[in-house]
Amino acid sequence: MKTFFKNLNLYSLKRVYKVFKFLLTTYLVIKKKHSFLGLKPLKPKEFKTTIISLGASFIKLAQVLATRADFFNEEYLLELKQLHDKLPSMPKEEFEAVFSRAFKTNIFKSFNKKAIASASIGQVHEAYLHSGEKIAVKLRREGIKQRVLADIKIINFFNFIFKPLFSHYTKNSIESVIKEFSSMIVQEVSLNNELQNLKKFSLTYKQSKIYFPKPYEEYSSDDALVMSFEEGFRFDDKEAIFKNNIDFNEIISNLVDFYTEQMLIKGYFHADPHPGNLLVTKNSEIILLDFGMVKTVPNDSRVAIIELIKAANEQDYELYISASKRLGTIAYEAPTSELAVFTSKMFEIFSNNNLDSESMQKLAFEVLESTRDLPFKLPSDAIYILRVSAIIEGLGTTYIENFNGIKDILPILQNNLPKALGAKDSIVETLIDEIKDIPFTIKDFKSTLKQASEGELKVELSKNQLDFLKKELKSYIKPYIFATTLMISSIFLILVNKDFKEIAIVLFTLSIARLLFK
C-alpha cells in the first residue's frame, strides 16, 4: 500500500482511474462477467484506445495478453492485435535534455531532429557521422524508466486486489504474464542492454540469411543507441512489396527457418518481430531491428517445443499432451481423456484443406470456448513464443492467399527437427558425435547402477509436478489448520474468561465439524 501511494506522484487521478478500468475490463472479460459492483467493462474499441493513452507499459502488457485466446473473446483479440507502438515524438525540451545528456561532444556531420519513427520506449533519428556514414540514432524517451517502474508497481497493486477473484490456474497465468512482462520491459528501457543484445545476436546468427544493423558502441549509452542506417520496406508496406515483385513465400520461409533456429536450436530469440521491426529489401532480404526484447529459451522448454511440433505433425495426441504438460501450458493433473478430445478437435480443424484461415480461426475459438474450465496455464517461457508465432502467422496471412499457420509452417519446423535435436549436416558427422558420447553414456549408466545398489538413487520432479503437489498439500492441510485454530481459540477463551464458555463450545463444535466434513 505504501508503494502504491509513493508512486501516485507520477500519476494523475485520471490516469489511475484508466489503469483501474483497464484491469477491471481484463478481469471481467476473462471471467465472462457483465459487471462488478455495478461497474461494466470497456467496449473493445474503448479498451484499445485506453491502452494506447496509457502508453508504453500497457501497450506491451496488452500485446502479451493478446496471445491468450482463452483469456479474451474474438472481438477483444481483434482490437488488441491492432495495437502499435506509434506515439507522438518527444516534446522539444525533452528531446534537448536527452540529446545533450547522450552526446557531450558533437559527433555528427548532420542530425535530423525530426524523428523518422516514434515508439513507446524511444524514437529514431537519421544522422551522418563526420566520416560520412549514414546512421540511425535511437533516443530513449525522457523519464520512461521511472514511468515504467511506477506502472509495474500500480499493475501489481491492482493485481493484488483482483487476484482472490480468479481461479487457481487463471491466477497463476496472470501472475506469470505480469512477472514476465515486468522483467522484459525493464530490460527494454535500457539501451545499454539493447546494445549488448544486438552484439550477441549478430555474433550468434552471423551465418543466417537475416541481416542486422551494425552498432557503434563508442557513441552509444543508456540514453542513445547508434547503429548503421538500414534501408528497406516495412513488412506492412504492401504497396511497395507488391510493386517490387518480392517473393513473399521465400520471405516467410526464411523468417520461419530463422525463428526455428532461434527457438529450437540456439535457444536465443528476438521476441518482438512486429512489422516496424522487420524490413524487406528489393533483393528479398530480411533486416531485423530493435533488440530490446530478446529472450533465452531454457533447454527443457526447447525440448518440449520440439516434441510438440513432432506430435502435431504426426497427430500423436498422447505425446502432444505430455509435451504440453512439460512445457507448462497444461496443468500436470489435467485429465488426459478430455485433453485428448480437445487436441483431436484442434488437429481436425487445422488439417482440413477445405477451410480458409478465417473459418479455421472461428472454429478454433469455439473449441477453446468449450474448454474454458480445463486447467490451461501460461508459463513465462511460452508467453513470447506464442506471441512470435501469432505475429508470423499474421504476416503470412497478409501476403499469402489462404496462408495457414499450421499447414504452411509445420513442414518447415518439421524439417528442422533433426538439427534441433543435435543432428549434423551429414550422417557421418552425426555418427562421429554419437560415438564421442558413448564413454559419457557408459559413465552415467554405471553411476546410476551404483546409486541404485547403495540406495541413493534420487527421483527429480518437474516444476509442474511440484506445483501440483504443493497445491494438493495446501488443500489437504488447510482444513486441519483452520480446525486447529478454532480449537485453540475455544480453549483460550475459556482460560481467559469462563463467561465465554458458550462461544468456546460453538468454536470447538465448528472445529470438529470442519474435520469431519473437509
Q: Please state which of the ranges 128-132, 133-137, 322-326 shows the lowest mean pLDDT.
A: 322-326
Section 414-428 average pLDDT:
55
| pLDDT above 60 (res 367) | no
| pLDDT above 60 (res 461) | no
pLDDT of residue 99: 96
Q: Please state which of the ranges 42-46, 178-182, 251-255 shows the lowest mean pLDDT.
A: 178-182
DSSP element (H, E) containing 197: helix 191-204
Average of per-residue pLDDT values in the chain: 75
pLDDT of residue 138: 96
Cα–Cα distances in Å, from 166 out to 1, 31, 352? 21, 8, 36
Whole-angstrom Cα distance, residue 443 to residue 462? 24
| pLDDT above 70 (res 133) | yes
Angle (CA) 305-307-309 rounded to 5° is 70
| pLDDT above 60 (res 350) | yes
Whole-angstrom Cα distance, residue 132 to residue 121? 28
| pLDDT above 80 (res 346) | no
CATH assignment of 91-141+190-230, among 3.40.50.300, 3.40.50.12780, 3.30.200.20, 3.30.1360.120: 3.30.200.20
pLDDT of residue 217: 95
Contacts of residue 71, defined as CB under 8 A and 6 or more positions apart, other chains included, come to 26, 29, 30, 65, 173
Whole-angstrom Cα distance, residue 52 to residue 49? 5
pLDDT of residue 211: 93
Pick from 364, 339, 338: which is nearest to 352 by CA? 364
pLDDT of residue 188: 85
pLDDT of residue 476: 62
Express each pLDDT in 253-273 by its tens digit. 788 888 888 877 888 888 877
Grid cell locating 235: 513488412
Section 177-184 average pLDDT:
74
Strands 210-211 and 268-270: unpaired
More confident residue, 500 or 365: 500
Q: Please state which of the ranges 108-122, 186-200, 388-402 shows the lowest mean pLDDT.
A: 388-402
More confident residue, 501 or 439: 501
Grid cell locating 141: 524517451
| pLDDT above 90 (res 334) | no
Section 126-134 average pLDDT:
95
Domain boundaries, the chain: 1-84+151-187, 91-141+190-230, 234-442, 463-516
215 within 8 A of 225, measured Cβ to Cβ: yes
H helical segments located in 32-84: 44-54, 56-65, 74-80
Coil vs helix vs strand at 288: strand
pLDDT of residue 8: 47
Grid cell locating 265: 536450436
pLDDT interval class at 1 (50, 70, 90): very low
More confident residue, 191 or 82: 191
More confident residue, 192 or 257: 192
Cα–Cα distances in Å, from 172 out to 23, 178, 267? 16, 10, 25
Strands 286-288 and 210-211: parallel
Q: Please state which of the ranges 146-155, 264-273, 393-402 shows the lowest mean pLDDT.
A: 393-402
More confident residue, 162 or 429: 162
Highest mean pLDDT among 75-84, 130-139, 443-452: 130-139
171 within 8 A of 118, measured Cβ to Cβ: no
| pLDDT above 80 (res 2) | no
| pLDDT above 70 (res 365) | no
68 within 8 A of 181, measured Cβ to Cβ: no
Highest mean pLDDT among 213-217, 234-238, 310-314, 508-512: 213-217
pTM of the model: 0.67
